[in-house]
């Protein structure tokens, strides 16, 4: 008998192929009348596939009494209420590790693009300035720079490793000191005062809300660059915008925003900012691997009673045991 799966995230062909033999897939995007759907299928749904942005609204969760697993496509899961899931014995899984390289590459791409004026220089060529005005202004090298990483999880470590190629001096701030060779700061503010680049790669959510505040932004200062590949929520966005506008912060490379896909329009006119539409993990290869792991967590749960990548909050769930 096929199990019923409700998806809040997009399902690609590869995911569908792997799921279809064992699951009847109900896609949220195809559901016109949610209430009627939940009346008909709520009790049958045993699995939810979602993202860390979409989660599963409590009102829906309450109508899924037989839900067993919530599999999230992505590493961050700030929109998923893990306490509510645990209270219901629902295991929550995500897709760590498979996106480490591409998210780290995005952080470094932003560092390079901002410091070397990639977008401005591209315009310089296209708008004829090279011909009419001559060489473009000199830019900044990232070689040997002091880089502070905010969050030293799996992606933070990958960024630090990759920065070795540029001979950067890497330090980090996280809630606790890690078993890594980089300099640890127990104060984010102190680190921001000492570094030239600050890269945010820590989970979103209440614990990290606006952790990059006005003081931190000003400590980074007019010569500093802020790179965000974490969540928009980790920075005080209005302060960031105003500091970038009036030069209290030198530059920024931003892949994430508070109210995606809405980006503060004041940023559109600034040459010292590079904006990306939350594409840190968005390569064909990494998205394929994320889809595979999203599916693997669900399929293994029903086949073996185990999952591959539980979130740490669910470590005590029997399906999380090795
Ligand atoms: C998105 C991400 O989740 O993994 C994360 O935490 O931020 C991204 O990979 C992606 O947009 C899929 O929802």
Predicted confidence at residue 322, as pLDDT, reads: 79
Tell me the pLDDT of the chain averaged across its residues: 97
Tens of pLDDT, residue by residue over 239-297, are: 999 999 999 999 999 999 999 999 999 999 999 999 999 999 999 999 999 999 999 99
The reply to whether 60 and 116 lie within a common domain is no
Given 238, 257, 275, which residue is the final one in a domain?
275
Does residue 134 fall inside a structural domain?
A: yes
Q: CA-to-CA distance for 282 and 219, rounded, in angstroms?
A: 32
**CB hemisphere CA count around 299 (13 angstroms):** 14
Residues enclosing ligand 1, CB less than 6 A? 51-53, 73-76, 99, 278, 280-281
Does residue 256 fall inside a structural domain?
A: yes
Compute, in angstroms, the gap from residue 295 CA to the centroid of ligand 1.
Answer: 15
Mutate which of 8, 70, 75, 96 for ligand 1 pocket (most atoms within 8 A of beta carbon): 75
Compute, in angstroms, the gap from residue 78 CA to the centroid of ligand 1.
Answer: 10
Average pLDDT value for residue range 85-97: 97
Q: CA-to-CA distance for 273 and 122, rounded, in angstroms?
A: 14
Does residue 280 fall inside a structural domain?
A: no
Predicted confidence at residue 245, as pLDDT, reads: 98
The reply to whether 74 and 47 lie within a common domain is yes
The reply to whether 128 and 167 lie within a common domain is yes
Percent of the chain with pLDDT over 70: 100
Q: Is the dihedral of CA 214, 176, 100, 182 positive or negative?
A: positive
Compute, in angstroms, the gap from residue 74 CA to the centroid of ligand 1.
Answer: 4
Structure tokens at 94: 């995500």
Does residue 187 fall inside a structural domain?
A: yes
The reply to whether 297 and 270 lie within a common domain is no
Burial class (CB in 10 A: 0-12, 13-18, 19+), 7: buried
Predicted confidence at residue 173, as pLDDT, reads: 98
Does residue 188 fall inside a structural domain?
A: yes
Whose C-alpha lies nearest to ligand 1, atom 12? 74
Q: Which of 94, 231, 287, 317 is catalytic?
A: 231
Q: CA-to-CA distance for 133 and 155, rounded, in angstroms?
A: 42
The reply to whether 156 and 91 lie within a common domain is no
The reply to whether 132 and 112 lie within a common domain is yes
Q: Which of 17, 20, 127, 260 is catalytic?
A: 260
The reply to whether 68 and 166 lie within a common domain is no
Structure tokens at 157: 């470590």
Q: Which domain holds residue 210?
A: 100-275
Atom of ligand 1 nearest to the CA of 256: 7
Mutate which of 11, 12, 76, 100 for ligand 1 pocket (most atoms within 8 A of beta carbon): 76
Whose C-alpha lies nearest to ligand 1, atom 3? 74
Question: Domains in the chain: how many in total?
Answer: 2
The reply to whether 78 and 136 lie within a common domain is no
Tens of pLDDT, residue by residue over 202-217, are: 999 999 999 999 999 9
Does residue 70 fall inside a structural domain?
A: yes
Predicted confidence at residue 248, as pLDDT, reads: 98
CATH number of the domain within which 114 lies:
3.40.50.720
pLDDT at 105 over 90: yes
Compute, in angstroms, the gap from residue 52 CA to the centroid of ligand 1.
Answer: 7
The reply to whether 154 and 270 lie within a common domain is yes
Note if the bond before 88 is cis, omega within 30 degrees.
no
278 is catalytic: yes
CB 149 within 8 A of CB 228: no
The reply to whether 176 and 265 lie within a common domain is yes
Does residue 194 fall inside a structural domain?
A: yes
Structure tokens at 181: 């060779």
Structure tokens at 224: 């500093």
Given 256, 275, 294, which residue is the final one in a domain?
275
Q: Which of 94, 278, 287, 317 is catalytic?
A: 278
From the list 178, 174, 199, the residue with the least C-alpha distance to 187 is 174
Atom of ligand 1 nearest to the CA of 76: 6
Tens of pLDDT, residue by residue over 113-140, are: 999 999 999 999 999 999 999 999 999 9
The reply to whether 125 and 234 lie within a common domain is yes
Atom of ligand 1 nearest to the CA of 77: 6
Write the secondary structure of the chain as one string of H (helix), E (strand) and C (coil): CCEEEEECCCCCHHHHHHHCCCEEEEEHHHCCCHHHHHHHHCCCEEEEEEECCCCCCHHHHCCCCCCCEEEEECCCCCCCCHHHHHHCCCEEECCCCCCHHHHHHHHHHHHHHHHCCHHHHHHHHHCCHHHHHCCCCCCCCCCCCEEEEECCCHHHHHHHHHHHHHCCEEEEECCCCCCCCCEEECCHHHHHHHCCEEEECCCCCHHHCCCECHHHHHHHCCCCEEEECCCHHHECHHHHHHHHHCCCCCEEEECCCCECCECCHHHHHCCCEEECCCCCCCCHHHHHHHHHHHHHHHHHHHHHCCCCCECHHHCCCHHHCC
Average pLDDT value for residue range 163-188: 97
Does residue 128 fall inside a structural domain?
A: yes
Compute, in angstroms, the gap from residue 36 CA to the centroid of ligand 1.
Answer: 30
The reply to whether 94 and 104 lie within a common domain is no
């Amino acid at each position: 008998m096929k199990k019923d799966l409700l998806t809040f995230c997009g399902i690609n062909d590869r995911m569908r192929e792997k799921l279809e033999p064992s699951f009847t897939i109900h896609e949220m995007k195809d559901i016109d009348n949610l209430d009627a759907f939940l009346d008909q299928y709520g009790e049958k749904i045993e699995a939810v596939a979602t993202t860390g942005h979409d989660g599963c609204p409590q009102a829906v969760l309450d109508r899924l009494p037989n839900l067993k697993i919530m599999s999230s496509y992505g590493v961050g899961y700030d929109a998923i209420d893990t306490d509510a899931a645990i209270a219901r014995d629902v295991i929550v899984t995500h897709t760590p590790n498979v996106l480490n390289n591409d998210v780290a590459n995005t952080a470094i791409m932003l560092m390079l693009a901002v410091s070397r004026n990639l977008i401005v220089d591209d315009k310089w060529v296209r708008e004829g300035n090279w011909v009419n005005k001559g060489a473009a202004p000199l830019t900044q090298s990232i070689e040997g720079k002091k880089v502070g990483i905010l969050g030293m999880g799996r992606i933070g470590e990958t960024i630090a490793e990759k920065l070795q190629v540029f001979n950067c001096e890497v330090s980090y701030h996280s809630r606790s000191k890690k078993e890594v060779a980089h300099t640890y700061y127990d104060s984010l503010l102190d680190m921001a005062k000492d570094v030239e680049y600050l890269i945010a790669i820590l989970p979103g959510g209440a614990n990290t809300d606006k952790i990059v505040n006005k003081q931190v932004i000003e400590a980074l200062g007019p010569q500093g660059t802020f790179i965000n590949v974490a969540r928009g929520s980790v920075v005080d966005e209005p302060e960031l915008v105003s500091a970038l506008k009036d030069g209290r912060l030198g530059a920024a490379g931003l892949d994430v925003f508070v109210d995606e896909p809405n980006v503060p329009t004041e940023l559109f006119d600034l040459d010292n900012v590079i904006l990306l539409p939350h594409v840190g993990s968005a390569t064909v290869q990494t998205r394929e691997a994320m889809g595979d792991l999203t599916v693997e967590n669900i399929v293994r749960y029903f086949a073996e009673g185990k999952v591959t990548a539980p979130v740490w909050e669910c470590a005590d769930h029997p399906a999380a045991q090795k």
